[in-house]
Amino acid sequence: MFSAWVLLVLILIQLLPVVIVYIWYRLAKYKISLVQFLFAILAGAAAFFPALVLQNMLTFPLISHGRGALFYNFFIRIALTEELSRSIMLLIFFVFALKIKSDSYQSDGLNIIKQGTAIGLVAGLGFAILETARYAANDMNINIALLRLFTAALHAACGSRAGSAVVMFKTNPKQALLRFFSAVAIHGVYNLMVNIPGLPSIAALLITISALTTSILSIRGGWESVSISLDKSDETQ
């Protein structure tokens, strides 16, 4: 019974950043509807499953020692698979839910990128909720909540980069790949710092705060509130 309560508390703590971001989007009048917001969370949560499958597939007993093993585990097996899975789910989100076509990229590229960044940030939080539930199921320790909050911020920062990479891939594939691999790099460095004994946790915290701040500034800067609504009424206006 106690374990179930701890799990519930951890999930509620992870929902707090989601609520804060939603209030921020509403107060800033970004034209992202509640339906879009919820679907973004769902896309992020769904990315957890292919990431888990890929991580299990990429588990090799021979790669278990030395610096190469650390790089492989934290950057390839974890960071790359999670960012790739998140990008795939975001692609499905944009293509099938929002029906973005090539002319949308060309006619309003700046706002599309900013909306991709905003949606990706939300998807990162959705991923963090499901990942937290998994960790909590294995280790029912309320102290995990603090670390998972920082990890949620990390997923939000990396998700924002993945979201922008997805929407700009057709028009600027080089920049899109750069943003995607920057997400992988940030994610990998964070994993390394929180798992290697002797490395100060404050360094991982600073990286997370810096990456998230950059994402927030990118979303805020120059937003013109151009909607990519799911509603058919918006398409006829």
Note the pLDDT tens digit of each residue in 61-87.
656 566 778 889 999 999 999 999 999
Rounded mean pLDDT of the chain? 81
Instruction: Tell me the domain boundaries of the chain.
Output: 7-223
What share of the chain in percent tops pLDDT 70? 75
Name the percent of the chain in helix, strand, coil, to the closest 5: 80, 0, 20
pLDDT at 128: 92
Q: Which of 197, 196, 198, 193 is nearest to 208 (CA)?
A: 193
Distance CA 59, CA 228 (A): 40
pLDDT at 101: 46
pLDDT at 225: 43
Q: Give me the tens of pLDDT residue by residue for the chain, a chain 237 residues long.
A: 446 666 677 777 778 899 999 999 999 888 788 989 999 999 999 999 999 999 999 887 656 566 778 889 999 999 999 999 999 999 999 887 655 444 444 445 557 888 899 999 999 999 998 888 777 666 655 566 667 778 889 999 999 999 999 999 988 999 999 999 999 999 999 988 887 776 667 888 888 999 999 999 999 875 544 444 434 334 444
pLDDT at 39: 93
Q: Which of 75, 15, 86 is nearest to 48 (CA)?
A: 86
* 128-171 pLDDT per residue, tens: 988 887 776 666 555 666 677 788 899 999 999 999 999 999 88
- The pTM for the full model equals 0.84
Q: Tell me the C-alpha to C-alpha distance, in Å, between residue 96 and each of 41, 90, 110.
A: 15, 10, 21
Q: Which of 221, 207, 189 is nearest to 78 (CA)?
A: 189
